[in-house]
Structure 1
């Protein structure tokens, strides 16, 4: 079941379906990003996703999902294939640059829902690719 939840979450991501991603989350959800601040709750996460969809068009490929024996922890490794659509804050100016990044996510799950996701990628590599 945990693998199904993670796969549904990333399938919704690839479809740009924020509601589908939020449907995979617990009410006690937290989101950590290696280069950002923690977001608490589904609403904060949905706002973050809407911002990301404005600034970036990304598809994840080469997905590998690993789940602990008890189903409470999971990890995913994948490749981010993206296009930088709109300048994001103080980051480099956007003009449709393409990028490819290795990335991953770590999950905590409870009752078939994601309670935490922590996303990792190399921001310096991304900046180099879009500059």
Structure 2
């Protein structure tokens, strides 16, 4: 895979995210995808990733804007920086009560790519910033 191909795969992943299309997101990840969420555990495999996507679709409505994508020369690694514009819809355990609060949060992600798919996604954002915005 080239850097251009990797960038296109990551762009398609975020286009699917913004379209609230988890099936399209799942089609872009490997069966053994490693999903590392900010201040959370590691989810291994497409089934665990699908569970996460389903949960996110119920608890949050988010759109990513100002997406900047980077990829290494051989297309095996990538990164993205973006701004999350979201609405907190349903209370997540251990987090503040959801009341439809909105938030704008800078975030980023790192990727490993294998073949034409994403094999690792690691997402970072400032949880304390998010909590302050939704309290």
Same fold (TM over 0.5): yes
Tell me, in whole angstroms, the C-alpha distance in 2 between the residues paired with 1:16 and 1:42.
17
Identify the residue that residue 85 of structure 1 maps to in structure 2.
Answer: 89
Task: Verify: 1:41 aligned to 2:84, yes or no.
Answer: no
Aligned to 1:100: 104
Q: What pairs up with 1:65-80 in 2 under 5 angstroms?
A: 65-80=69-84
Superposed, which structure 2 residues align to 1:12-23 within 5 Å?
12-23=16-27
- Provide the aligned length of Structure 1 versus Structure 2: 131
Unaligned stretches of 5+ residues in structure 2: none
* SS of the residue 1:87 aligns to: coil
Which among 4, 29, 35 is matched to residue 31 of structure 1? 35
Alignment partner of 1:65: what SS? strand
TM-score, scaled relative to structure 1: 0.98
C-alpha deviations, 1:73-100, integer Å up to 9, x for none? 0000000000000101120000000000
For residues 44 and 73 of structure 2, the distance between their equivalents in structure 1, rounded to whole angstroms, comes to 27
RMSD (Å), alpha carbons: 0.6
Structure 2 distance, partners of 1:47, 1:12, is 16
Listed as ranges, the gaps of 5+ residues in structure 1 are none
Q: 1:99-118 counterparts in 2 under 5 A?
A: 99-118=103-122
How far apart are residue 67 of structure 1 and its match? 0.3
